[in-house]
Structures are given as structure tokens and as C-alpha cells.
Amino acid sequence: MPDQTDALPHPLRAPPRIDTTAVSQPLQDLFAGWDVALAKPFIGLTADGAIEPWLFPLRRTGASVQPIADAVAAFAASLDATQRKEVGFPVDSEIWRTWSNIHRNLMRHGLCLVELSEPQRELAYAILRATLGTYAYETARNAMRLNQTLAEMTGLPLEFGEYFYWLSLFGEPSANEPWGFQLDGHHCNINCLVLGDQIVLSPILLGSEPVLAEAGKYAGLTVLREEEARGWNFMQALDPGQRAQAIVGKQLPFDGYASGFQDNVTMPYAGVPSTEMTPAQRGQLTDLLTLYTDRLTPAHAKFRRDEVMAHFDRTYFGWIGEFTDVAPFYYRVHSPVIYIEFYHQPGVALPDVGYNRRHAHALVRTPNGNDYGRELLRQYRTKF
């Protein structure tokens, strides 16, 4: 495929909100379901419908959040009055919950990167660099770049593109008050709440279709290969009995069970518990978990990893689909304090040839009420 990037128009405006009455009936039904989900009070992902309390105490981590605060302040200082009004929301806003992985502008909010100047976009990226670990930052940026590849492959530059991502700021950087930001768009959804020096980085979904750019502006770029490989390798490390126990389903889901608008999903623990694994397997599962806790910068990632490892004996690994060298698959890692889903999907923007490894998502949530830092916020509001 030739590099069509320079031939494509580069719009200076974000795609307009879609008319939900003018889409297909299946999409109307999907969007109506999302409205119903948003109308319900936030509870959080649980194993049985009930929150397990006191998993996330307010405390000091000893890790600095100043780089993030400085990056947010620098970005905000670059905005004019109209932009500042559009980008800002109260930290308790329900707008947090309206993120979605779909490429269409259904409930987007904040400032779209395509409408920013190049210096302003660089300041927006600086917020991500200050928040995310190096690998996670590159994965996020590459997911955005591969959305440009998708524009080239589909010939739909007004629907897909590297800059069709919306940044919102919640509250203002403070040493004591809660604040945060959200980046929302196709295959790159990042929610970050800061309170004191604690960070909650969830929900966070990163993905791509395709996961590899075979040609075009970003030829050779790829994402989620490590998440795919480590999950498959862990399944391979299980013995036949454990592998059978790990399989929690045969039919791959179309989307993740805990994707957008699934804040209150009930997901029972299922699969192989870590307590029934060998020391080597437990070490390999720890490495898999670390790949996801390292979404944060090193000092905050260590704090998050310690939090996750404190509940390691209540951690389960589950698998859906076949287990072969080439078959698409889904895996889940679930404990009281972390929920991970990795899964392949069929073609959506590209031709649907069935489930395949060309389209993949990796999602992380914080169960038991702490997505968007809600449990920390609850304790903060109660205390202050």
C-alpha cells in the first residue's frame, strides 16, 4: 500500500457529534444501553455486586506528582479563555464516565488535539509523558499513530486520525485537593486522578486495528505485542490440568467485559488461582502483572505493584478461546485491586474476517470502587 498520508486532507476541526437517531438500529440500541448505564450511580467493578471495603486507604506514597502538575499547568497556560472553559470540569463530574473506545464522536468532551496548535499538542503529550511509564507512553502514542494508519487504509481521514483525541482537565493541580485528566479517543482512553501524592490510573484502555502498520507513514510501528506474548507464554507455562481450569469460556467476546460504560460490571473470580501455581508460575504471573502496573512512572509503579502484590494470593488468571500458536484469544487477571483484560477482536474498521490477532485491546481497571479514584475521593470528601 502506498503512503497516502500527504494526499489525505488534514482537518482543523474535530469530527462533529453524531446524530444517534441517524445510525443503524444496532448502534441505536448500543447507545441507548450506554445511556442506561450512565444513569445508574457509580459502584465499580465487583466480584459479586458488593464493594469490598478499605482496600484503598488515603496515604502517602513518597512519589512525586510535581512533574504531572507542572505539565498540566504548562498546558493550561497555553490556552486562551475559550479553550480553558472547554477543557475544564469539576473533579466530581460524571463526565469521567463517558469515555468510549469507538472512533465516533458520541460523547466526546474537552479539547480535541486536532484543534490545538503543534506547540499545544506537544504540551498535551508532556502530560502523558509525566504520568506514564516509558513503555506505556510509547504504546499510547503509537496507538494514536496507528489510528492515522487506519485513516490511510480506510481512506476515511475525517473519521480516523492521529489527532482525534480529546483531553479534559478535572480540578486544578494541588498539593492537597483532588485533580486529574482524561484522554479519550479511538484505542487510547486514559483516566488519571491525583490526590496528594497518590495516583489512580484507571480505567485505561490501549489498543489498535491494525496492531502493525505494514505500510504508510508509520510503517513498521506495532503495539501490544508484549501484552499478547506474556499472556500467551503464561498460558503455555500452565500444565494441562491448570490450563483446563484457566479456560473460563470458549467463545471470544466481541468487546471486553469491562470496556466503556461498564463501570458497574460484576465479574466473579474465575480461572486458576495463584495459590495453585508453582513458584515459577507465580513468578511469571508477577511479571505479567508488572507489565500493567508499569503503566505508571517507576516510583508510582512500585507503589501500585506493592498494592497489587499484597493481594497476590487472591489473584486469578482466566482464558477464553483456543490455545494455539495462531488463534486469537482473551485473557484476564483479576484480584480485589486490579482487573486486566487483553483480547483480540474481529475486524471493525477493516474487513471483518473473523476474530484475528490484527485487532487487539488491553484494559486495566481498579475494582471495588476505585476506578477514576472514586474510593479515594469518597474518603477525602468524608474526611474533609
Determine, yes or no, domain membership for 192. Answer: yes
Determine, yes or no, domain membership for 216. Answer: yes
Determine, yes or no, domain membership for 1. Answer: no
Determine, yes or no, domain membership for 33. Answer: no
Q: Let me know: does 328 contact 359? Beta carbons within 8 Å.
A: no
Determine, yes or no, domain membership for 19. Answer: no
Give 6's pLDDT tier (boundaries 50, 70, 90).
very low
Give the pLDDT confidence score for residue 289 in this predicted structure: 98
User: How many structural domains does the chain have?
Assistant: 1
pLDDT tens digits along 94-143: 999 999 998 888 889 999 999 999 999 999 999 999 999 999 999 999 99
Report the first-to-last Cα separation within the chain, whole angstroms. 59
Q: Let me know: does 330 contact 10? Beta carbons within 8 Å.
A: no
Range of the domain at 98: 42-383
Compare 100 and 17 and report the one with higher pLDDT.
100
Give the pLDDT confidence score for residue 77 in this predicted structure: 98
Give the pLDDT confidence score for residue 151 in this predicted structure: 95
Determine, yes or no, domain membership for 20. Answer: no
pTM: 0.95
Determine, yes or no, domain membership for 6. Answer: no
Q: Let me know: does 332 contact 322? Beta carbons within 8 Å.
A: no
pLDDT tens digits along 153-169: 999 999 999 999 999 99
Asked if residue 2 has pLDDT above 60, the reply is no
Determine, yes or no, domain membership for 28. Answer: no
Among 286, 370, 372, smallest CA distance to 333 is for 286
Q: Let me know: does 41 contact 104? Beta carbons within 8 Å.
A: no
Among 48, 93, 45, 92, smallest CA distance to 259 is for 45
Compare 129 and 10 and report the one with higher pLDDT.
129
Residue owning grid cell 483525541: 165
Give the pLDDT confidence score for residue 1 in this predicted structure: 33
pLDDT tens digits along 311-366: 999 999 999 999 999 999 999 999 999 999 999 999 999 988 899 999 999 999 99
39/23 Cα distance (integer angstroms): 22
Give the pLDDT confidence score for residue 19 in this predicted structure: 86
Give the pLDDT confidence score for residue 3 in this predicted structure: 36
pLDDT tens digits along 285-306: 999 999 999 999 999 999 999 9
Tell me the average pLDDT across 258-262: 97
Q: Let me know: does 123 contact 71? Beta carbons within 8 Å.
A: yes
Tell me the average pLDDT across 250-270: 97
Q: Let me know: does 321 contact 328? Beta carbons within 8 Å.
A: yes
Give 13's pLDDT tier (boundaries 50, 70, 90).
confident
Burial of 347 (0-12, 13-18, 19+ CB in 10 A): middle
Radius of gyration, alpha carbons of the chain: 20
Torsion of CA 363, 366, 369, 371, to 10 degrees: -60
pLDDT tens digits along 167-224: 999 999 999 999 999 999 999 999 999 999 999 999 999 999 999 999 999 999 999 9
Mean pLDDT (the chain, rounded)? 95
